[in-house]
Amino acid sequence: MNYCPNTKDTPTTVFSFLFICLMIIMCLWILKPFIIGFIWAGMVVIATWPLLLKIQNILWKQRSLAVLVMVLLLILVCIIPIILLIKSLIENSSLLITWLSSNHLHAPELLWLKTIPIIGCKFYLYYDHLIHSSGVTLLSQVQPYIIRTTRFVFTQAEHLGFFMIHLGVMLAFSILLYWHGEKMGNTIRQFAFRLASHDGDAIVRLAMHTIRAVALGVVVTACMQGLLGGIGLGIVGIPFSTILTVLIILSCLVQIGPLVILIPAIIWLYWTGDNNSGTLLLIWSGIVCTLETLLRSILISKGADLPMILILAGVIGGLLSFGMIGLFIGPVVLAVSYQFILAWIHDISLPSHKL
């Protein structure tokens, strides 16, 4: 005898819902090591898909050659700068250790503490006792901070290791998405259409447009400004130019701009008497800032004029939540959510009467 379940059978509905939730949780738990890398790869592929199609048309419409070129570009843009940064950090840390071991480090006297009324003499006597007590008292005072600093350094090293793993996963998934991009896109659109009909398909297209706009207008702009600023710093011979390049990229991501790094470098060059290099870096900084204005205007013309606080929150929140990967994922996720909310709000017409 065939059993036809009643559509109003509440226990059946509840158990079906629990089973579906259990399967979703198990799938997410299994795929947990690959989720961030896959999301990152999806954002990269969506942002660079038009470039892939152009390269494919140039290379005799061969998808394999176009995918190979795109992977080489991703390696050139993502992996090589990180390797150079790690190499620079190791070299600079060795110089720092050599300087510290050469007995050039001396505690300042801080005689100006005596000039502070009422409490100045007490602070100076306490400080003088710390620096002249054979280091035992000073070590006991700073030991908790040394432990915290060491823990922070090891945590950041762990984040860097996970970042490299996610970077490798991103490259692997990018190859698959580049190769089967049309098929994956149609599957996602069919799934969205199955959930919300034409509105679901419109949401998918809105998400793709927003991801592409944010990636090109925020992330790519920041990376280009950082690389150009780093080239200028390297040409004029500024020390630690690799680390300063990374700082320029971070400052551009949080919408502060490259001048917060470039202006002190220009002042330092003029201060040291290298006027030619200072003038050259000044002109180069103007070119970099002009590029920012140009790309920003192109972004606005494409309808992706996002609030600065949204981008800032995405960069900082993403960095704190996901590490270095969050610099790229955070702004994109918030921007997509912001566009979804705006589309949902504008879909409702206001009443005719005024408030």
d(CA 262, CA 229): 7
Q: Where are the domains of the chain?
A: 197-348
Dihedrals phi, psi of 140, to nearest 5 degrees: -65, -30
Give the three-state DSSP class for 93: helix
d(CA 251, CA 222): 8
Higher local confidence (pLDDT), 80 or 171: 171
Burial class (CB in 10 A: 0-12, 13-18, 19+), 164: middle
CB 225 within 8 A of CB 291: yes
Q: Quick one: tokens of 92?
A: 């600079």
- What is the tens place of the pLDDT at every residue in 263-322? 999 999 888 888 899 899 999 998 888 877 777 666 555 545 567 778 778 877 887 787
- What is the tens place of the pLDDT at every residue in 60-119? 999 999 999 999 988 887 777 777 766 766 666 666 566 555 555 566 666 667 777 777
d(CA 148, CA 286): 41
What are the C-alpha distances in Å from 339 to residues 167, 220, 334, 349? 27, 20, 9, 17
Q: Quick one: tokens of 150?
A: 């060491």
Q: Quick one: tokens of 224?
A: 């280009």
Interacting residues of 42 by C-beta distance below 8 A, sequence separation 6+: 173, 177
